[in-house]
Amino acid sequence: MQPMTRTSLLDPFILAADRALRAILAPAQASRPSPAATVAEPTAELTEPQRRQSAALMRVNHAGEVAAQALYHGQSLTARSESTRALLLKSAREEEDHLAWCEERLRELDSQPSRLNPLWYAGSFAIGALAGALGDRTSLGFVAETEKQVERHIDDHLKRIAAEDARSRAVLQAMRNDEISHGSNARNAGAIDLPSPVRDLMRHTASVMTRTAYWF
């Protein structure tokens, strides 16, 4: 058997760095059309407070998708099995669609992503790598719990975004459907239930990010 070279040992870390730079600096590339594409543009009908509210909430969702990319990339770096790594990277690819959809909607609302996205990515990547290092079933449990919390978070945003903003609502509904699917896939792959203190810590950490990204 040919010995593993230094280059091959570094390959996963080079790929991780490339994914990080793409997630933070490059425009996201969607593999699926935006759910807003078939919805008539209502922005002109929104009041200014409604537009600002939609923009702030979509900025929060965009920051959440940056964090989701980082979590999946970190978990895939330390995953034990190829099947778990493949599941994580597939979910990450679908989350990139969400990132692109949110970016597009922010432009339509004359707004921009969170200026703290590099921080969200770095912190989430570290958490994801740690979760992956604890074993595949724990890592998948982290996915299942994260997606459950994201589903609740999107439900809250759907209540807060004006009914007139059908384009933002269409994006959020499609994202919600994907998050439910990701959580279900993780549970079917063997996810374990995380201890209550861990779930609470995840909620508090996410709350800090969402409150900050709403404004910055």
Residue 195, both tokens:
């201890």
Q: Of 172, 183, 116, nearest to 147 (Cα)? A: 183
Q: Which among 130, 151, 152 has a CA at the least distance from the CA of 139? A: 130
Q: What is the pLDDT of residues 151-166, one digit of tens each?
A: 999 999 999 999 999 9
Which tens digit of pLDDT belongs to each residue from 123-142?
A: 999 999 999 999 999 999 99
For residues 175 and 180, give the distance between their C-alpha atoms in angstroms, rounded to a whole number: 9
Give the pLDDT band (50/70/90) at residue 27.
Answer: confident
Looking at domain 47-215, which CATH architecture does it have? Up-down Bundle (1.20)
What per-residue string of b and e applies to 14-32 under the rule 16 or more CB within 10 Å gives b? eebeebbeebbeeebebee
pLDDT in tens, 64-104: 999 998 999 999 999 999 999 999 999 999 999 999 999 99
The answer to whether 69 touches 92, Cβ cutoff 8 Å, is yes
What's the whole-model pTM score? Answer: 0.87
- At CA 97, angle to CA 96 and CA 101, rounded to 5? 115
From CA 157, how far away is CA 53, in angstroms rounded? 10
Q: Is the pLDDT of residue 5 over 90?
A: no
Judge whether residue 35 has pLDDT over 80: yes
Q: What is the DSSP string of 6-48?
A: HHHHHHHHHHHHHHHHHHHHSPP--SS--GGGGS---GGGS-H
**Domain extents in the chain:** 47-215
